[in-house]
Structure 1
């Protein structure tokens, strides 16, 4: 009986490893110490690291700290997590990274806004016009350093929903706004951010 369960476990791992998406139909992806980062993400270990159940990212004004998944997001997905911007003014979730284009979903403390925008990201350049991009939708939100926020991002049937603490919500249509409809996921900070309970679910 034990051999049977072990075989099923190995088979499920094989299915997950062969999948082209970071979350499969039968399994959601979680950032935890047991999952480790290197098998699933591209990053500089001086910029992003995992301690116990907390993922920490460190960047600066001239060089943003970036971590990017190795696999694509599913077509329809939900990302949930808790975030604390301990330093700096910007924390961004990069959605549907396709070559150098992606969807910007971010919290911007200077303007006290949450934002959906059209972004560009050149991995080997810190030039101003080679990162970030145009804001398309904004909503005022009170943002502070050293405060935890619950973030939820949902993409389903080409509709994007971005919410903070379940009460401040931004929505838009991907195709209508010429936004990337497939690709990887990433995280960016220009200061320091701490993240817990990070889950990607295939819808």
Structure 2
């Protein structure tokens, strides 16, 4: 009887540790020196690394570098971080990533825009129509390379707010645009990007 109790308790702890969200109402997620990137994220170590509390991604036009969390985002959340793109033209936050579908929120230095779009990502293919997706909303933004830009993304009551440098913003309804309402977070780049000061808060 005692053995059964111990097994049940261990199973319960295992389920708790393997499920849930990346942040809770009691605990905000952020990167520290002791963060275990292997336990929190799925990635190719040749494409992404963590050093000095900073993610470094290295992709190309032919192969986008992607890193995704192992746990779900909460239903309502706020994400903040700073981004620096030294080469390439795209760095993207993948929101509510579920199987292959996600919400695209990204900075694009060719068109000099910040963008919200509907995304698809197939990790087994680099074909054009199996990554990225259509733009839904955009706003002009002076996206300079080799410069740190501050990003804030908020999803609250099925409304998305995307703000860069506390000055340029876009917002939309997830329901109106038929966007993913649950899933994980990820980052994607077709160049060399650094992400620091990442924090994910449950709202």
TM over 0.5: yes
Report what 1:21 is aligned to. 21
* TM-score normalized by the length of structure 1: 0.91
Matching of residues 19-168 of structure 1 within 5 Å: 19-168=19-168
Query: Are the equivalent residues in 2 in contact too, given 1:59–1:190 (CA < 8 A)?
Result: yes
2:175 is matched with 175
Q: 1:186 maps to which residue?
A: 186
1:46 CA displacement: 0.8
Do the aligned partners of 1:91 and 1:106 also contact (CA within 8 Å) in 2? yes
Q: Separation in 1 of the partners of 2:166 and 2:15?
A: 34
Confirm or deny: 8 A CA contact 1:16 1:24 kept in the other structure: no
Secondary structure of 1:129's aligned partner? helix
Q: Distance in 2 between matches of 1:111 and 1:152?
A: 21
CA offsets 1:75-106 (integer angstroms, 9 cap, x no match): 00000001101111000000001111100000
SS of residue in 2 equivalent to 1:137: strand
SS in 2 for 1:38: helix
Aligned residues: 191
How far 1:14 moved relative to its partner?
Answer: 8.7
Q: Shift in Å at residue 37 of structure 1?
A: 0.6
Structure 1 gap ranges (5+): 1-12
SS in 1 for 2:71: coil
Any conservation in 2 of the 1:82–1:196 contact (CA below 8 Å)?
A: yes
Gaps of 5+ in 2: 1-12
8 Å contact kept, 1:83–1:150: yes
Query: Offset of 1:17 from its aligned partner?
Result: 3.0
